[in-house]
Amino acid sequence: MENKSYYAIIPANVRYDKELNANAKLLYGEITALCNEKGYCWATNDYFAELYGVSKVSISNWISLLEKNGYITREIVYKEGSKEILNRYLSIVNDLLKKSLIPNKETFNTPIKEKFKDNNTVINNTINKKEKGMNALIESYSDNADLKECIKDFIKMRAAIRKPLTDRALKILLDKLDKLESTEGRKIKVLEQSIMNSWQGIFPLKEEVNERVKCTSDKYDPFDI
């Protein structure tokens, strides 16, 4: 795997594109972080699937979404004389973004490099402290591995839409989740519903809301009104 860039970039046109789901946007940011100085990454679907804890089919769908909407290009290299795939290259389409991914070697040979290292250490320490706090909340909330992963996916989605959760916000959200549903399977469905729709909060399942409306309407006879 190639060396990662210093940070992931998700530009505004990607962040607010309604044609993309939150996970596709997050994957776009990961691709920018993996792009080397040539402007492409050769990470496989297996790599991304393991990274995000999802199936290769999901990764393939997200990549297709990004390609269909013109944010990345995909180049397949086959072994000579066969249809066996040798390499797959993903490239960022935005030329300005490509330039921002290439480190300025002269800049990093100056004393600014030391300042960058110091600032980066402070930022990393802050992020690590926040992640530890959230992980502790998640671990204490449930022993169900699927539910814990779903909570983490919701946190990633919030970060992808630039609405990151604080520890306190996560605690409030988990308390609300307990009030909405009592079983872990139903809690997972509530979180997945918000992730798929890029919602900032959690809400009753749509099917349940529709059922309530139906039940309410059944109480009245139109001839009685």
Residue among 186, 184, 182 nearest 207 (CA): 186
Question: Residue 83 has what pLDDT?
Answer: 78
Parallel, antiparallel or unpaired: strands 40-41 and 72-78: unpaired
Question: Residue 219 has what pLDDT?
Answer: 46
Helix axes 56-68, 22-34, angle to 10 degrees: 80
Question: 12-103 — its CATH code?
Answer: 1.10.10.10
Spatial CB neighbours of 89, under 8 Å, sequence gap ≥ 6: 40, 41, 42, 74, 75, 77
Q: Which residue bears the tokens 């996916």?
A: 153
- Whole-number Å distance between alpha carbons of 151 and 61: 22
Q: What mean pLDDT is predicted for residues 110-115?
A: 49
What does pTM read for this prediction?
0.43
Q: What mean pLDDT is predicted for residues 22-49?
A: 84
Q: Which residue bears the tokens 């699927």?
A: 146
Q: CATH 1.10.10.10: which residues of the chain?
A: 12-103
- Whole-number Å distance between alpha carbons of 164 and 155: 7
Q: What is the mean pLDDT of the chain?
A: 77
Question: Residue 2 has what pLDDT?
Answer: 47
- Whole-number Å distance between alpha carbons of 192 and 105: 43
Helix (H) or strand (E) holding 172: helix 167-180
Q: What mean pLDDT is predicted for residues 107-127?
A: 47
* Coil/strand/helix, residue 77: strand
